[in-house]
Structure 1
């Protein structure tokens, strides 16, 4: 069976949106919250958020932009890989949308610090240390929710890797990289949730293949599109 390659414009749009997903996600997690959360120090974290409320809110907006891009990417990949294997393509989209829904709901936890750290009259019953602790707790639970969503995104990446390998219009190496990215997502997230003591012993570089695989796919589509001539490579 000969699978039809997507049009260059669709492939490049998919790559651009996927790259947007990566950039917005990295800014939200690393550039925004990563620079404000002070480990397990609730008071320092609260002070950092209050002093940089604009940056914290920018991370929240970036999360929403990331989710919007990922919905579009999921839809475009569903159409792109439908001719490779319709069943796997639909299943992959389902896992991606579940991950998006989990992460969208998880984003609500980021509003808790903004509410707790304001001087609202109904919060006068809580002392500052209690509000600081609640702020850090909300951020920690948000991190747990992120791990849950990444299990679904990891399975999505595994399926995308298989589809890319079989497609004929993407280099097989991208299929390998996406499969590795998916395996790292699933392994790291389940370790965080099920055996946190073991997860803390894992190398921080374990997640490097996730950036490499997803960036490679996004950039290839953005720069080269999807070409039928790759079938025999």
Structure 2
């Protein structure tokens, strides 16, 4: 009875990781892929500012959904550590720590740039000290800073995905293809981050690379855990 209870608890916990991961993908995808991508106009401070003010509620909601995603990611980090530590405690700790640094720490702090892009446009003290064009330029700068902050977080997250893929591959409790796909996802994040900083001008191509690799790795893993959780032979959670 005790062993059966442990198995049931393990299945529930693995499915919980899957559920939380799906929620993170939806929330973060909405914030980054819909809200900011639809509002921020690269190199055009006037249009970006107009888009923010015309869609203020959406812009604020994008910050909230991102923050919720990062809070959930902190929980996922701990759950991944508990799940995978029997297959290598040190590696599991390093991997989960990098995930905690990536989004719950760097990503959450970087949301200040998202908020300030709106705040400067509505600040009365700033409107008395700067002309409208300067204020729009400041707002655009904050959105640009947020994009680079996202890339920095992506470097930490890319290494996490590589290590997570290695753990999944070596554990024997999961299909090896999951580990391989997560490894490709990690490479995608790293290629985007270092590619954007080292070779500017290729942002669209690099975004496609990370988008495809992350979709194959993270989405597959999330839904596998959510759907197949009860069939995974692990009692570590």
TM-score, scaled to structure 2: 0.90
Give, in angstroms, the shift of residue 195 of structure 1. 2.5
Counterpart pick for 1:64 among 64, 67, 88: 67
Which residue in 2 is equivalent to 1:192? 196
Counterpart among 187, 211, 214 of residue 215 in structure 2:
211
Q: 1:122 & 1:55 partners in 2: Cα distance?
A: 23
The secondary structure found in structure 2 opposite 1:184 is: helix
Structure 2 stretches lacking a partner, 5+ long: 1-5
| Separation (CA, whole Å) in 2 of partners of 1:70 and 1:201 | 26
Equivalent in the alignment of 1:140: 144
- What is the alpha-carbon distance in structure 2 between the residues aligned to residue 121 and residue 92 of structure 1? 44
CA drift of 1:40 comes to 1.3
Question: What are the within-5 Å matches in structure 2 for residues 1-233 of structure 1?
Answer: 7-100=10-103, 101-197=105-201, 199-200=202-203, 202=205, 204-207=207-210, 208-225=212-229, 227-228=232-233
Deviation at 1:203, TM superposition (A): 5.4
Preserved contact between residue 168 and residue 228 of structure 1 (Cα < 8 Å):
no
- RMSD (Å) for aligned C-alpha atoms: 1.8
Structure 1: unaligned runs, 5 residues or longer: none
Deviation digits for residues 94-131 of structure 1 (CA, Å, limit 9, x no counterpart): 11111121111111111212211115134311111001
Secondary structure, counterpart of 2:40 in structure 1: coil
Q: Equivalents in 1 of 2:122, 2:204: separation in Å?
A: 37
TM-score by length of 1: 0.91
Number of equivalent positions: 225
- For residue 173 of structure 2, give the secondary structure of its aligned residue in structure 1: coil
Query: Which secondary structure state, in structure 1, belongs to the residue aligned with residue 161 of structure 2?
Result: helix
Which structure's residues are more often helix, by fraction? 2
Change in CA separation of 1:203 and 1:70 when aligned onto 2, cut-off 3 Å = closer
